[in-house]
C-alpha cells in the first residue's frame, strides 16, 4: 500500500432489545409494536473515512420511512444525534462533536486505547481475513424502578471485534480502535456493527477535516454534564409518572 492511501468503510448497526414492560398496562400486541419500532430506530448506517493516521466517523442521514398507524397510539422516535468522531492516531488525540438537548459540545482529549486481548481465531468478512480481539469492562447505569426510585445497576460488558491486518490502520467504528488492522465487526452482546462495504484509494480523493464547532470540553467535563442531564430527565420522567398515576406505560431499555 502507498504511504498516503485512503479508504472508506460503510457499517450497519443492529441492536438487541432488552425491554422491561409493565404487563398489567401493556398487552402483548402493544409490546410487539414497541419492539418493532425500536428495532427500526436502531438500524442505522455509518461511514468511516480513514488514512494511516486519521479517521472521521459519522452516522449517515436517512429519510424516515412512513410508519403505519399504531393501534396502540404509541409512536417511538429515538434521537440518536449526529455525532462526528475525529481521531488522530499519530498525535494521540481525538475530537468528538456531539449534542445534548440542542446544545453542541466539542470533546477534545487524549486517546485512551482499550486493553484488547488478542484471540487466536480467524474468519473471513467478505474478502478480508480477520482476527478476533476481546475487551471486558464493568459499567454502571442508573434506572428508575416501577416504584419511582433510582437504582444503580452494574454489569459486565464483553466486546468482541474482528479486525483485518490486510488494511493496516489502527482505526474502526465508534470508539473501537487500537488494533493492528481495521475493525470490520463489533459485538458487545446488544449492539452489532458490521462493515458492508470498503473502498480503498477511491478515485475521488477526500480530506479528513477535524470538527471545530461546539463548546470545547474535556471528556471528564462532558461526562459530568451528561450525567447531570440524565438525572434531570429521569427526575422529570418520575414526576410525570407519579402525576399520571396508572396511565403511564413504563418501559426500560436495557443498557
Banded pLDDT at 24 (limits 50, 70, 90) = low
The candidate with the shortest Cα–Cα distance to 130, out of 140, 118, 141, 139, is 118
State the total domains in the chain.
1
Query: Strands 117-125 and 182-187: what pairing?
Result: unpaired
What's the pLDDT at 139?
Answer: 83
Between CA 223 and CA 84 the distance in angstroms is 17
C-alpha distance from residue 84 to each of 58, 216, 247 (Å): 5, 14, 39
Asked if residue 181 is part of any domain, the answer here is yes
Is residue 199 in a domain? yes
What is the C-alpha to C-alpha distance for residues 188 and 107, in angstroms, rounded to an integer? 24
**What is the Cα–Cα distance from 100 to 229, expressed in whole angstroms?**
8
Domain-located, residue 1? no
Residue count (the chain) = 255
pLDDT at residue 154 greater than cutoff 90:
no
Q: What is the mean pLDDT of the chain?
A: 82
pLDDT in tens, 232-247: 877 776 676 555 554 4
In a domain, 56, yes or no: yes
pLDDT bin (cut points 50, 70, 90) of residue 99 is very high
Within a domain: 156: yes
For residues 82 and 118, which has the higher predicted lDDT (pLDDT)? 118
Q: Cα(36)–Cα(33) distance, rounded to whole angstroms? A: 5
How many whole angstroms separate alpha carbon 253 and alpha carbon 31? 13
Query: Are 214 and 19 in contact, with CB atoms under 8 Å apart?
Result: no
Task: Tell me, yes or no, whether 169 lies in a domain.
Answer: yes
Task: Give the per-residue pLDDT at 248.
Answer: 43
CA-based Rg of the chain, rounded to a whole angstrom?
A: 20
Candidate from 30-34, 151-155, 190-194, 207-211 with smallest mean pLDDT: 30-34
Confidence of residue 121 (pLDDT cuts 50, 70, 90): very high
Any idea which of 59-73, 83-97, 108-122, 215-229 has the lowest mean pLDDT? Answer: 59-73
How far is 167 from 69, CA to CA, in rounded Å? 46
pTM: 0.79
Beta-carbon count within 10 A of 164 CB: 25
- In a domain, residue 108? The reply is yes
**169 with 180: CB under 8 angstroms?**
no
Domain membership of residue 212 as a residue range:
6-253
Instruction: Tell me the residue ranges of DSSP E strands in 19-74.
Output: 19-21, 45-51, 54-59
Provide the Cα torsion 215, 216, 218, 222; round to 10°.
10
User: Does 232 map to a domain?
Assistant: yes
Amino acid at each position: 500500500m502507498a504511504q498516503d492511501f485512503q479508504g472508506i468503510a460503510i457499517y450497519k448497526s443492529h441492536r438487541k432489545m432488552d425491554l422491561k414492560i409493565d404487563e398489567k398496562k401493556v398487552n402483548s400486541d402493544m409490546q410487539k409494536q414497541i419492539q418493532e419500532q425500536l428495532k427500526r430506530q436502531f438500524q442505522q448506517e455509518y461511514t468511516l473515512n480513514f488514512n494511516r493516521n486519521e479517521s472521521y466517523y459519522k452516522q449517515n442521514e436517512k429519510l424516515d420511512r412512513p410508519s403505519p398507524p399504531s393501534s396502540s397510539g404509541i409512536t417511538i422516535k429515538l434521537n440518536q444525534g449526529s455525532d462526528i468522531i475525529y481521531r488522530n492516531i499519530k498525535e494521540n488525540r481525538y475530537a468528538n462533536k456531539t449534542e445534548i438537548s440542542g446544545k453542541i459540545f466539542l470533546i477534545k482529549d487524549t486517546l485512551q486505547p482499550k486493553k484488547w486481548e488478542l484471540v487466536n481465531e480467524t474468519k473471513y468478512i467478505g474478502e478480508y481475513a480477520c482476527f478476533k480481539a476481546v475487551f471486558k469492562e464493568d459499567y454502571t447505569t442508573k434506572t428508575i424502578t416501577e416504584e419511582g426510585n433510582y437504582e444503580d445497576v452494574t454489569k459486565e460488558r464483553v466486546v468482541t471485534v474482528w479486525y483485518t491486518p490486510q488494511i493496516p490502520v489502527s482505526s474502526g467504528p465508534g470508539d473501537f480502535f487500537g488494533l493492528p488492522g481495521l475493525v470490520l465487526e463489533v459485538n458487545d452482546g446488544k449492539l452489532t456493527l458490521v462493515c458492508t462495504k470498503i473502498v480503498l484509494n477511491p478515485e475521488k480523493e477526500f480530506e479528513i477535516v477535524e470538527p471545530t464547532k461546539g463548546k470545547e470540553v474535556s471528556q471528564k467535563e462532558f461526562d459530568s454534564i451528561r450525567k447531570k442531564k440524565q438525572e434531570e430527565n429521569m427526575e422529570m420522567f418520575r414526576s410525570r409518572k407519579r402525576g399520571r398515576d396508572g396511565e403511564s406505560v413504563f418501559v426500560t431499555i436495557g443498557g
